[in-house]
Amino acid sequence: MSTRVTPEEIAAFADGELPAGREAAIREAIAADPELAKQVQRHRALAARLSQHYAPVLEEGVPDRLTDLLTARKDKTVVDFAAARQKQEAQKREAPSRHPHWGWIAGPALAASLAIAVILGDTNTGPGAGYAGPQLAAVLDDQLVAEQSSAAETRVLLSFEDKGGQFCRAYSGVSGGGIACRDDEGWRIESRSEGGEAASTDFRMAGADDGAILAEAQDMATGPALDAAAEQAARERGWR
C-alpha cells in the first residue's frame, strides 16, 4: 500500500521539519516516486533563492525614522481647540468668497478637515522632484471625497479638471495641503501650503489654509468641482 503524501508534507520534508516517525515513511515514498522527488527539489531551490534574495535585507539595521515612531515622545503638546477654531473662523470671515458654485462640496470638506490627525511622517514629498510621494499618491489615486473617513490623516477637499484637461485634486493633511494634477508621470504638485505652526506638534487642527487652497483650485478649474458620480468615474479611468 503506497503512502499518500500531501504538498504540506513535501514542504516540511524539504525543510527538515517532519516528525521523525513520519519522515521515514515520506522518505520511502519519495524514493519510489520520481515526481515527488522533483517536488522536493523544486521546493528546496525556491527556498534557496528566497534566502539569497532577502538575506541582505535581514542584515540591515532598522532606520532611525522607524525606531523613532516606537519611542515615547517627551514633548507632547496640548492643542487649544477653541482657539484654533476661532482663528479659522476669523480667516474665513476675512477671506473673500471666491467659490460660490463649489459650496456644496467645499463646505463639508472644510468642516470634516477639523479631524485630529497623528503625524506619522511627511506624505507630501516623493522621490521625483515636484511629484507626490507614495503615501500621498495612494490617497489621491483612491480616496473619494464622499467616502473618506473624517479621521483620515490626509483628506481630499475636492476634484476638478484644469484648463488643460487634466484631473486635479485639492488636499489637506498634517504636513500641509496643496493641489496635485495627474499626468503620465504621476501626481504633479501644482501648489503647496505648508502645515504652519501646528505642523511641528504631535497633533494639529487641519484646515487653516483650506480656504486659500480651494480659491486657487477654482482659478485653475475649467468648470465646477466633480460631483460624487463624476469623481468615481474619473477614479475608474485612472484619473485620465
Q: Residues 44-67, buried b or exposed e (16+ Cβ, 10 A)?
A: eeeeeeeeeeeeeeeeeeeeeeee
Determine contact, residues 212/177, Cβ cutoff 8 Å: no
Q: Do 199 and 120 reside in the same domain of the chain?
A: yes
pLDDT score recorded for residue 236 = 93
Q: Do 26 and 132 reside in the same domain of the chain?
A: no
Q: Do 53 and 168 reside in the same domain of the chain?
A: no
> How many whole angstroms from its chain centre is CA 235?
16
The residue with cell 500500500 is: 1
pLDDT score recorded for residue 169 = 95
pLDDT score recorded for residue 72 = 52
- pLDDT single digits (tens) 64-107: 766 666 665 545 445 555 666 676 677 666 655 444 455 545 55
Its domain, for residue 107, covers 82-236
The total of other beta-carbon atoms located within 10 Å of residue 3's CB is 15
Model pTM above 0.85: no
| 199: DSSP letter | G
The total of other beta-carbon atoms located within 10 Å of residue 69's CB is 11
The Cα–Cα gap between 144 and 118 comes to 21
Q: Do 141 and 101 reside in the same domain of the chain?
A: yes
- The dihedrals phi and psi of 9, each to the nearest 5 degrees, come to -70, -35
Question: Per-residue pLDDT for 216 more than 60?
Answer: yes
Number of domains in the chain: 2
Q: Do 207 and 117 reside in the same domain of the chain?
A: yes
Least Cα distance to 135 among 105, 174, 167, 166 occurs for: 174
Task: Find the radius of gyration of the CA atoms of the chain.
Answer: 27
Q: Do 140 and 217 reside in the same domain of the chain?
A: yes
Count of residues in the chain: 240
Q: Do 44 and 143 reside in the same domain of the chain?
A: no
Determine contact, residues 136/123, Cβ cutoff 8 Å: yes
The reply to whether 76 falls in a domain is no
- pLDDT single digits (tens) 100-126: 455 545 555 444 444 333 333 344 444
The reply to whether 93 falls in a domain is yes
Mean pLDDT, the chain, rounded, equals 75
Question: Per-residue pLDDT for 202 more than 80?
Answer: no
The reply to whether 69 falls in a domain is no
Q: Do 107 and 16 reside in the same domain of the chain?
A: no
